[in-house]
Amino acid sequence: MNSIQALMRVEGLSKRYNEGDSLAVDQVSFTLQPGEILALLGPSGCGKTTTLRMLAGFEHPTAGHIFLHDREVTELPPQKRNIGIVFQDYALFPHMTLLRNVTFAMRHVPKNQLKEKAMEWLDLVGLTPYATRYPHELSGGQQQRVALARTLAAEPELVLLDEPFSNLDAALREATRKEMRSLFKKAGTSVILVTHDQAEAMTFADKVGVMQQGQLMQLDTPQAVYQHPANAFVATFLGHTNLLRGRAIGSFAETPLGNISLHTASKGDVQLSLRPEDLQLTASDNPDAAKVLDREFRGHDYLYVLEQEGIQYCAITPSHNHFEIGSHVTLGSSRQASVIPASN
């Protein structure tokens, strides 16, 4: 798609808080299509929240431009951007009922239609029976849904989510995440989510942008970012991986594990990323084969740590396919490896 169709376009966005400091956000650029959900993912201090605050208008960029429907909004205050925000603490008004919390955001709706419209938004998030309750009478997940209903009631073009699920316990977090994604898709709302949780980003978003030290390292579909990382940081931040040195000869590379086929043809010395679930383990009587050093049972699978010729590997197998610690296995690749820039 070309940029004219984009809901939001961000060009060279940078932020330096104090003269002499390094850039908190460094030349970040991306586009967001209508109805698309984008997750900005990275460790603490990588610049993802600062980026979100600049998009919202709470922080002024040191450099760069922000466009909504090709209209520049870089200098506009937050209230002029038509962007909704769901904060980590939900920011509900404790002295107002759920109905009043939602109607408060509906300043564009005539007074005689407020209640009816607000009830429609509460119905969308499944909370119409609780309309007369106060926030403290609700669970964390319910409060999250009220915050979402209030944000959507303002009919923003874009919703920004700042670590919105971090205050929920694990089971509720997963259920709420699925529910909110479904609601956004149903409403056709464009969303940018900031999170440090890899699973959250990959299950919630259509596109994932991985940030490190203020820079956007890679932006693509969750599948592409996971299977074909742009560099070693992205590969390791998105879960376990095996970084292998090898020599590429076209469509395959010679490695300590033997010849491994490549996703992208290459030549010469290379570094490869091979996910642990893409390693095949076969029991072996050969004492020179890989040795099982450790095994972690994780319910649906085992995570193994193995060593062969002084090099350690990690592998994941289904839980019915288990090998004893101290036993030997032959290692092979069941999938093409990705070539990534060599790390020091």
Place of tokens 């002499």: 20
What would the pLDDT profile of 253-307 be if each residue is shown by its tens digit?
999 999 999 999 999 999 999 999 999 999 999 999 999 999 999 999 999 999 9
Residues 254 and 225 in one domain: no
Average pLDDT taken over every residue of the chain? 92
Model pTM above 0.75 = yes
Q: Which residues, at least 6 apart from 70, have a Cβ–Cβ distance to it below 8 Å?
A: 3, 4, 6, 9
Instruction: Mark which of 236, 253, 288 sits at the end of a domain.
Output: 236
Q: If you compute the radius of gyration of the chain from its CA atoms, what whole number of angstroms results?
A: 24
Instruction: Tell me the C-alpha distance between 45 and 47, whole Å.
Output: 6
pLDDT digits (tens, 9 = 90+) for 15-66: 999 999 999 999 999 999 999 999 999 999 999 999 999 999 999 999 999 9
Q: Which of 193, 209, 236 finishes a domain?
A: 236
Per DSSP bridges, beta strands 83-86 and 158-162 are parallel
67 and 193 inside one domain = yes
Instruction: Report the distance separating Cα 138 and Cα 133, nearest Å.
Output: 8
Residues 31 and 162 in one domain: yes
Closest to 48 in 3D by CA, of 291, 219, 258: 219
Give the pLDDT band (50/70/90) at residue 2.
very low
- Residue 131 and residue 98 in contact, taking contact as beta carbons nearer than 8 Å: yes
What type of residue is 90? Y
Output the domain CATH number for residue 142.
3.40.50.300
- Once rounded to an integer, what is the mean pLDDT over residues 122-131? 89
Residues 54 and 196 both lie in one domain: yes
> By residue range, what is the domain housing residue 54?
3-236
Residues 189 and 299 in one domain: no
Residue that terminates a domain, selected from 236, 261, 296: 236
Three-state secondary structure call for residue 16? coil
Q: Is the Cβ–Cβ distance between 209 and 247 less than 8 Å?
A: no
Same-domain status, 199 and 252 = no
Angle ∠(253,264,230) on CA atoms, nearest 5: 105
- Cβ contact 159:189 at 8 Å: yes
Structural domains counted in the chain: 2
- Whether residue 194 contacts residue 26, with contact meaning beta carbons closer than 8 Å, is answered with no
CATH of the domain at 271: 2.40.50.140
